[in-house]
């Protein structure tokens, strides 16, 4: 088989996600304190928590206002738990960097192609996101 043909086939193949998974992931992104610019950057490389936290993130346009490292980590971990981001791993274990998963990449690429990267959530989205985020049973109880 031609190597180029195999590569183009895999690039064209996208995972099919359930509609509820896509809606929850989109809602989590829209309700997060992070701007589209950060997620677009995570499409091409991993981004560390210190790069996003405090004044650095606001200056780079990743957040609207400075976030503490704890708030930054919490927001990123929520996006990871809904399947949008993954934490980077190196030879020593987990790092403080995150990047997009295939689900996150699919959502961001879709938004980029539509030319609407500055979407925000409405009140109903915020309520649903909060209920999903704060109403779930912790892993250690399950």
* For the chain, domain boundaries: 19-129
Which of 36-40, 118-122, 134-138 comes out lowest in average pLDDT? 134-138
Fold of 19-129: Arc Repressor Mutant, subunit A (1.10.10)
- Report, as an integer, the average pLDDT of 93-118: 87
pLDDT above 50 for 1: no
Query: Mean of the pLDDT values across residues 35-51?
Result: 94
Percentage of the chain beyond pLDDT 90 is 58
pLDDT band at 62 (very low <50, low <70, confident <90, very high): very high
What mean pLDDT is predicted for residues 59-85? 95
Residue 137: pLDDT band with limits 50, 70, 90? low
The arithmetic mean of pLDDT across residues 80-94, rounded, is 90
- 55 Cβ contact partners less than 8 Å away, ≥ 6 residues apart: 66
Whole-model pTM?
Answer: 0.81
């Amino acid at each position: 088989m031609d190597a180029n043909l195999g590569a183009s086939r895999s690039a064209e193949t996208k995972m099919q996600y359930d509609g509820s998974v896509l809606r929850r992931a989109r809602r989590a992104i829209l309700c997060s304190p992070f701007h589209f610019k950060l997620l677009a950057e995570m499409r091409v490389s991993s981004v560390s928590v210190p790069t996003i936290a405090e004044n650095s993130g606001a200056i780079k346009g990743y957040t609207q206002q400075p976030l503490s490292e704890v708030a930054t980590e919490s927001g990123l971990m929520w996006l990871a738990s809904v399947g949008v981001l993954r934490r980077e791993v190196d030879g020593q274990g987990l790092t403080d960097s995150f990047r997009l998963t295939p689900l996150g990449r699919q959502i961001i690429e879709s938004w980029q192609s539509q030319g609407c990267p500055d979407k925000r959530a409405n009140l109903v989205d915020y309520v649903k996101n909060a209920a999903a985020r704060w109403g779930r049973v912790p892993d250690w109880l399950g």
